[in-house]
């Protein structure tokens, strides 16, 4: 494995619902692998960003902060080595966003392909909340606040990392020196897990994902309902593996890669029914999720402790973000009220 000992990692999720297998395969696996092997890993629970298309759902977002923190702990993220940071607890991030908004044009915001697709899938059209259109700028604030060099993400986030690079370069140019290092995306071997319905991406908002906290029954039912090859009517028919969600999940989660290759060849030839494949996938997912579910249920008995982890991580992160903010304020020529800002930070 590469040497990540000098890397600062920023990664995170929107608390729009419990985390799902897409998060696990796309980002959590890398966070777990890098935990303790990098300089620092901040894990952001992006509650302000969750409001950008859920402004009326503040209660739901607040509830999901706990759910997401429970998911982190249940998969094995350790708040000592990977502090959990609540975005709204670090108001410096909002100020950075405000400053960066002056470095970005509306045309550039509208060109972001992920945001474009999300605006379409949410049916926003011109009625898109301005906060939603601008959320890549808020992500640039999150990443640069910690001077992150590495961002483990799914591939839907690549345009955000690109935009972050542009903003960081503009700040560096204004400053006449490298305030920010380059932040690189870190993709996993499954950069985009498809939805159960065959849609390109499993997503909380689309409700087409298996959550990490799903019951054994829910997992089995989701596997049964998974999109396969609609042309594969009889077991003896040759089947298509491209676009077949069961194969995408076997590729992502079945530890026996050689066996999956054999199944793929057999399915293509014909003579292998969906029921056999789905039974295998059900077993694989049950093995993966049972220990996570168990740990999660245990941790959920003490929500106060979970939120204390979040508060501790947020407190530590705030100091770092405050230092970056005063640097950026100076770059923009704003007057520093450093002592007052410090006193405020200390009271939090």
Which chain residues interact with ligand ATP by CB under 6 A?
Answer: 13-14, 16, 22-23, 25-27, 153-154, 156-157, 192-193, 201-205
Task: Give the shortest CB-11-to-ligand ATP separation in angstroms.
Answer: 7
Query: Which is nearer to ligand ATP, 210 or 284 (by Cβ)?
Result: 210
Q: Which is nearer to ligand ATP, 67 or 229 (CB)?
A: 67
Nearby residues of 158 by Cβ (< 8 Å), 6 or more positions away: 114, 185, 187
Of 204 and 293, nearer to ligand ATP (C-beta) is 204
Nearest distance from C-beta of residue 214 to ligand ATP, angstroms: 14
* CB 34, min distance to ligand ATP, A: 14
257-269 vs 274-299: helix crossing angle, rounded to 10:
150
Q: Which is nearer to ligand ATP, 22 or 239 (CB)?
A: 22
Cβ 326 to ligand ATP shortest distance, Å: 29
Q: Do 73 and 309 contact (CB within 8 A), yes or no?
A: yes
Q: Compare residues 50 and 145 and give the one whose CB is closer to ligand ATP.
A: 50
CB of 311 to ligand ATP, least distance (A): 21
Q: Which is nearer to ligand ATP, 192 or 279 (CB)?
A: 192
Residue nearer to ligand ATP on the CB measure, 52 or 228:
52
Cα angle 87, 329, 49 (rounded to 5 degrees) comes to: 20
Closest approach of ligand ATP to the CB of residue 254, in Å: 17
Q: How far is CA 265 from CA 230, 239, 241, 245, 262, in A?
A: 18, 10, 9, 16, 5
CB of 253 to ligand ATP, least distance (A): 12
């Amino acid at each position: 494995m590469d040497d990540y000992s000098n890397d600062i990692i920023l990664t995170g999720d929107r608390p729009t619902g419990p985390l799902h297998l897409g998060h696990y395969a796309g980002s959590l696996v890398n966070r777990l692998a890098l935990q303790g092997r990098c300089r620092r890993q901040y894990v952001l629970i992006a509650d302000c960003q969750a409001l950008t298309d859920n402004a009326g759902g503040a209660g739901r977002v607040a509830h999901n902060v706990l759910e997401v923190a429970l998911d982190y702990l249940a998969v094995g993220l350790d708040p000592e080595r990977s502090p959990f940071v609540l975005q709204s607890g670090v108001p410096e991030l909002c100020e950075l966003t405000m400053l960066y908004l002056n470095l970005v044009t509306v045309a550039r915001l509208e060109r972001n392909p992920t945001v474009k697709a999300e605006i379409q899938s949410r049916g926003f059209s011109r009625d898109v909340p301005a906060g939603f259109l601008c959320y890549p700028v808020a992500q640039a604030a999150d990443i640069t606040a910690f001077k992150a060099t590495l961002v483990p993400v799914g591939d839907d986030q690549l345009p955000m990392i690109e935009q972050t690079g542009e903003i960081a370069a503009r700040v560096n140019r204004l400053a006449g020196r490298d305030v920010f290092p380059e932040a690189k995306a870190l993709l996993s071997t499954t950069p985009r897990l498809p939805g159960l319905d065959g849609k390109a991406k499993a997503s909380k908002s689309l409700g087409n994902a298996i959550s990490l906290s799903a019951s054994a029954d829910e997992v089995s039912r989701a596997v049964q309902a998974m999109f396969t090859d609609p042309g594969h009517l009889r077991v003896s028919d040759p089947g298509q593996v491209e676009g077949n969600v069961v194969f995408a999940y076997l590729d992502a989660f079945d530890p026996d890669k050689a066996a999956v290759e054999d199944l793929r060849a057999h399915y293509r030839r014909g003579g292998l029914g969906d029921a056999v494949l789905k039974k295998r996938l059900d077993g694989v997912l049950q093995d993966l999720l049972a220990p996570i579910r168990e740990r999660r249920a245990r941790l959920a008995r003490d929500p106060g402790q979970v939120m204390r982890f979040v508060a501790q991580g947020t407190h530590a992160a705030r100091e770092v973000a405050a230092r970056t903010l005063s640097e950026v304020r100076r770059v923009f020529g704003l007057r520093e009220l450093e002592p007052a800002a410090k006193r405020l930070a200390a009271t939090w």
